[in-house]
Amino acid sequence: MLARTSFAALLLTTVVLFSACRSAQKFVESGNYDDAIDFCIDKLEGRKNKKSEYVKGLELAFRKAQTRDLADAENLIAQNRPENWERVNAIHRQIARRQNKIAPLTPLRAKDGYEARFDFVDIAKLENESCERAAAYLYTRAETLLQQAENGNRDAAREAWSTLIDLERRYFTQYREKDRLKQEARNLGTSHVLFEIKNQSNRVVPRQFSDRILAIGKNDLDSEWKSYHFNAEAGVQYDYKVVFNLNNLDNTPERVHERSYADEREIEDGWDYVLDSRGNVMKDSLGNDLKTPRYVRIQANVLEVYQSKAVRLAGTLQIFEGYRNTLLETRPVGTEVIFENYASTFTGDKRALSDESRRRIGNRPMPFPSDEDLLAQAADRLKPSIRDELRRSNSIR
């Protein structure tokens, strides 16, 4: 029995080792050399008795990966195309990472005495050169894009900005006049938008209304490449103009409506004995007196006063291209503010009141808000609508 158990354990160990070896071999055969390297390192790190198949597998995968990457880098350099330097540098960094993984394991000797050989290259010098060449390419690319931006191409300015950010993040945080070029790209790539209000409702609108709309705020509208302005400066040509046209303003008069109604309800009000035909109180099976609920109908008379007043606004957002004053888009916007108040009193039995009546009992008539106050509330409600419409628009780029 013990022999069978030992044989089964040996067979399982052999299968596991064979599967592991096959996994490393599969990585190499499919060209996934770095996956094979990671697999073998995981099997070797921290182990005193290192298995020969993993030592040899790591050696083979490393040699094939180095040969492939160095050949790819040489081919890209031989093409003599400046844009290739980014790829060359990526390859050099990959080689550096690979060598840094393996270096701590060297010298690497298997438990059977086999010692792996790793031909490291002086990658630091190559990487520094390709890093400088890649950064120079991106810098030159940004300069070319900014020349196009100076002729009115905002997309080129934004691409120049992204190119310089790429240079900054991947290669050098400080490089030549990168910061000055970034600011230039920001200036040339930003669309400046003037926001205006026009009252076309043939109604007098208080200054407070316009002030509330204009208080929408730059932070609510500005984005990475859009800057909104609320006061036109003389001599400044804006890229776009947004005009909020107030086309219709409708104020309903103050209304007071009275109505009276009755709430009725049937409630239980005590009980009566159940009598037999001779007038005697009937008993149940336990000898207790039989009783029946007594119901009465109650009523409460309600006097309700309903107050209402409203303001309705309707308008459009028009987006113009600033230089030629060309209309690009029109979007409708509008809102309504309603003042309502219920004040009720009652006479009669309070228990008859409905839940709705109970909520209104005790309220008192209130002073009507002024037209100016309702307009101010309407302006506050319009602001998020205006903001959302402008954010959804694709006309401003």
Q: Which residues contact 5 (CB under 8 A, 6 or more apart)?
A: none
264 and 349 inside one domain: yes
Question: Quick one: how far is CA 90 from the chain centroid?
Answer: 31
Asked whether residue 177 falls in the same domain as residue 100, the answer is: no
Give the domain range for residue 57: 21-121
Last residue of a domain, one of 121, 153, 181: 121
Quick one: pLDDT at residue 17?
40
Task: Please report, for residues 93, 101, 134, 234, the alpha-carbon distance to residue 70 in angstroms, rounded to integers and kept in the order given.
Answer: 11, 18, 17, 61
**Claim to verify: residue 177 and residue 311 sit in the same structural domain:** no
CATH number at 338 reads 3.30.160
240 and 370 inside one domain: yes
Q: What is the mean pLDDT of residues 361-381?
A: 91
Do 54 and 170 sit in the same domain of this protein? no
Please check whether residues 47 and 182 belong to one and the same domain. no
Predicted local distance difference test score (pLDDT) of residue 65: 95
Residue that finishes a domain, picked among 150, 166, 189: 189
Based on the structure, what is the number of domains in the chain?
3
Residue whose tokens read 């309603």: 338
Whether the CB-CB separation of 46 and 107 falls below 8 Å is answered with: no
Whether 250 is covered by a domain: the verdict is yes
Q: For residue 108, give the nearest of 53, 64, 32, 69 by alpha carbon.
A: 53
**Residue, of 313 and 1, whose pLDDT is higher:** 313
Residue 79 CA to residue 99 CA, distance in Å, equals: 26
What is the Cβ-side half-sphere exposure of residue 231, based on CA atoms within 13 angstroms?
A: 3
CA distance 294 to 289: 16
Among 147, 172, 189, which residue terminates a domain? Answer: 189
Answer yes or no: is 129 within a domain: no
- Kindly compute the dihedral angle of the four CA atoms of residues 170, 175, 180, 182, in this order, to the nearest 10 degrees: -10
* Nearest-angstrom CA–CA distance, 32 and 64: 10
Residue 313 has pLDDT above 80, yes or no: yes
Identify whether residues 176 and 56 lie together within a single domain.
no
Map residue 314 onto helix, strand or coil: strand
- Same domain (yes/no): 116, 153: no
* Whether the predicted pLDDT of 7 surpasses 50: no
Domain-located, residue 276: no
One domain for residues 209 and 326: yes
pLDDT at 5 over 80: no
13 pLDDT more than 80:
no
pLDDT-derived band at 324 (thresholds 50, 70, 90) equals: confident
In order of 121, 166, 177, 338, the CA distances from 180 in angstroms are 38, 15, 5, 54
Q: Does the pLDDT value for residue 10 go beyond 70?
A: no
Q: Give a three-class secondary structure readout of 243-273.
A: EEEEEEEEECCCEEEEEEEEEEEEEEEEEEE
Pick the more confident residue, 10 or 137.
137
Range list of H helices, the chain? 2-29, 33-44, 52-78, 85-102, 123-149, 154-170, 178-189, 207-214, 218-221, 355-360, 371-392
Residue 365 inside a domain? The answer is yes
**What is the average per-residue pLDDT within 264-293?**
85
Asked whether residue 6 carries a pLDDT value surpassing 70, the answer given is no
Segment 37-58, tens digit of pLDDT: 999 999 999 888 999 999 999 9
To which residue do tokens 């094939």 refer? 64
Same-domain status, 151 and 57: no
Checking if the pLDDT of 187 tops 90, the result is yes
| Residue 228 near residue 221 (C-beta atoms within 8 A) | yes
Q: Which of 80-94, 173-187, 202-216 shows the lowest mean pLDDT across its residues? A: 202-216
Are residues 99 and 235 located together in one domain of the fold?
no
pLDDT, residue 22, reads 55
Q: Vertex 332, ends 391 and 199: CA angle to 5°?
A: 105
In a domain, 243, yes or no: yes
Q: How confident is the model at residue 16 (pLDDT cuts 50, 70, 90)?
A: very low
pTM of the model: 0.72
Cα–Cα distances in angstroms (integers) from residue 106 to residues 41, 53, 294, in the given order: 12, 16, 101
Residue 358 is assigned to a structural domain of this protein: yes
pLDDT for the residue 363: 84
What are the structure tokens assigned to 103, written together? 């270096």
Residue 10 domain flag: no
Write the DSSP assignment of 334-352 as a string of letters: EEEEEEEEEEEEEEE-GGG
Q: Are residues 83 and 175 in the same domain?
A: no
In the chain, % of residues over pLDDT 90: 73
Q: How many residues does the chain have?
A: 397
CA distance 360 to 251: 26
Residue 107: cis peptide before it, omega within 30 degrees of 0: yes
Domain-embedded: residue 127: no
